[in-house]
Amino acid sequence: MSLRVFVPRDAGALAVGADEVAAALQRAAAGRHVGLEVVRTGSRGLYWLEPLIEVATPAGRVGYGPMTAADAAGVLDAALGRSGAHPLGRGVVDEIPWLQRQTRLTFARCGVTDPASLDDYRAHGGTRGLARALSLGPDGVVEEVVGSGLRGRGGAGFPTGIKWRTVAQAAAPQKYIVCNADEGDSGTFADRMIMEGDPFLLIEGMTIAAIAVGATRGYVYIRSEYPHAIAAMEAAIATARRARLLGARLGDSPYGFDIEVRAGAGAYVCGEETSLLESLEGKRGIVRAKPPLPAHKGLFGRPTVINNVLSLASVPIVLAEGAARYRDLGIGRSRGTMPIQLAGNVRRGGLFETAFGISLGELVDDVGLGTASGRPVRAVQVGGPLGAYFPRALFDTPFDYEAFAARDGLIGHGGIVVFDDTVDMARQARFAMEFCALESCGKCTPCRIGSTRGIETLDRIIRDDERERNLAVLEDLCHTMKFGSLCALGGFTPYPVMSALTHFPEDFGARPPRLEAAE
Ligand SMILES: Cc1cc2nc3c(=O)[nH]c(=O)nc-3n(C[C@H](O)[C@H](O)[C@H](O)COP(=O)(O)O)c2cc1C
Ligand code: SF4
């Protein structure tokens, strides 16, 4: 008798004991003289069930979780049919409603395949996009990506195909593809999941970008806090090279492209594209003035495509399935799917990929099932530390770039952080200013000085020191930061501050005069 078991090696699963579970399963199998093949995968993104193991059966993969090492023997007996159903049994994983509700395009393989196996990648549809890109040629690829409506998933939502077209049209002896894997937004982990769970997908997306624009070198800039992602990417790049999916004349085509991994030292601002380029060049991560755009003058002064992990990882499916399949999903100018990350005080946190258009309320109440603490949801912050706080009254907002912008918010990298009714929104507003002060690169005055003045002003408001006057000062300061900052770190910090003040005035002591959100 033998069993095939899938155990995630994703950092989120490792943090809650996946390695110990894998070892305990091996011991239990040896003790029962049962052959056991343990395949290490990425995570499916159902984080409240991690470590979630899956046992291959004729009916599909049957899940058990959240596992501990102590559960291994009992689960093995249940899987072998030697005991009744196990209380941790979740049935066939693909049939779990939380997964079934999703439209998994970018994350189709994550948690399913062995991320170290190129054969597994290919067996599950990998490299189909690259094959089509090679047959279409550079212009055809650019037009396909333009036609898909794909917009940058790093935060700004700029159309990916237009960026690529700009770089393709730039004449230069050397061009670069840079993948932004700094993933600094609070509550986000989708980039990490892809790099750990499906690294060949990112390699394929970067290679397609290189073919499209005529680049021969690529870099993946990964935050140093992601050691597992760094190791997974490095291993996959080495495998891809051996398979001639990278290197000169890749796949016997006329194109040559290679990728290197670079680890960032850990600064939020190094996720900002020009600061990232400085850091890649070995300099201090300080924001560059734009223009010139990186598409014209990027890494080492050469035309550079810089895209988020998810943007690049969405491209293979666009090419494989065709632009129309992608564009047909979504609403308005937000096309395709968005890997949404539910985090914070939420009962069912994890990765939920779905077409744009789902409402914030559906995500928090129906998908996330409210708070982990069981208390009422009071606020959610969407789009990372620079995103606005939304009260329940705005939960009808559809997940769409323009709809969020219309309500003085942003969807950013798709992170949703949930807070219950014990949250102090004045403290959260102060934290936003404090975060900006800590992470500011220091290049421009509104952000460098304004954030510290913001902390001081909020402290005065919180201790009821000339509240009305200081509220006016805060509003003025936010206006200056929004319009006077060189980049979005200083420019967007007013969003969490002003949304906290506008939607939760009771936390700032007295009801403040109606404040116009700094616009
Ligand atoms: C302060 C700051 C931090 C940022 N952090 C990230 C990040 O961690 N990852 C990311 O992809 N984009 C980040 N961005 C956005 C990038 O500047 C840029 O828009 C993005 O890499 C472009 O790729 P995309 O078009 O695929 O989204 C940040 C921007 C700012 C202003
Ligand atoms: S807004 Fe802040 S982080 Fe951005 S350039 Fe100015 S000082 Fe640097």
453-465 pLDDT per residue, tens: 999 999 999 999 9
**Which residues does a 6 A CB cutoff place in the pocket of ligand 1?**
152-156, 158, 180, 182-184, 268-269, 271-273, 306-308, 311, 487-489
Q: Is the pLDDT of residue 516 over 80?
A: no
Sheet architecture: strand order including 89-92: 35-41, 2-8, 53-57, 60-64, 89-92
pLDDT, tens digit, 9 for 90 and up, residues 184-243: 999 999 999 999 999 999 999 999 999 999 999 999 999 999 999 999 999 999 999 999
CA dihedral 319, 324, 325, 327 (to 10 degrees): 100
pLDDT at 1: 78
- List, in order, residues 6 or more apart from 199 with CB less than 8 Å away: 115, 232, 233, 235, 236, 237
The number of the ligand 1 atom at minimal distance from the alpha carbon of 274 is 17
pLDDT (0 to 100) of residue 510: 59
| Nearest-ligand number for the alpha carbon of 490 | 2
Burial class (CB in 10 A: 0-12, 13-18, 19+), 20: middle
Average pLDDT over residues 362-374: 98
What is the CA(495)–ligand 2 centre distance, in A? 16
Residue 512 above 90 pLDDT? Answer: no
Provide the pLDDT confidence category of residue 519 given band limits of 50, 70 and 90: very low
- 106, 180, 189: which to mutate for ligand 1, most atoms within 8 A of CB? 180
Pocket-testing residue among 443, 451, 481, ligand 2, by greatest number of atoms within 8 A of Cβ: 443
Q: State pLDDT tens for residues 160-183.
A: 999 999 999 999 999 999 999 999
Asked whether residue 517 carries a pLDDT value surpassing 80, the answer given is: no
Q: Tens digit of pLDDT for each residue in 475-499?
A: 999 999 999 999 999 999 999 999 9
Cβ < 6 A, ligand 2 pocket: 269, 287, 440-444, 447-448, 485-487, 489-490
Query: Which structure tokens are listed for 103?
Result: 């439209």
| CA nearest neighbour of 139 among 110, 105, 100, 168 | 168
Q: Which of 208-217, 376-385, 504-513 has the lowest mean pLDDT?
A: 504-513
pLDDT beyond 70 at 513 = no
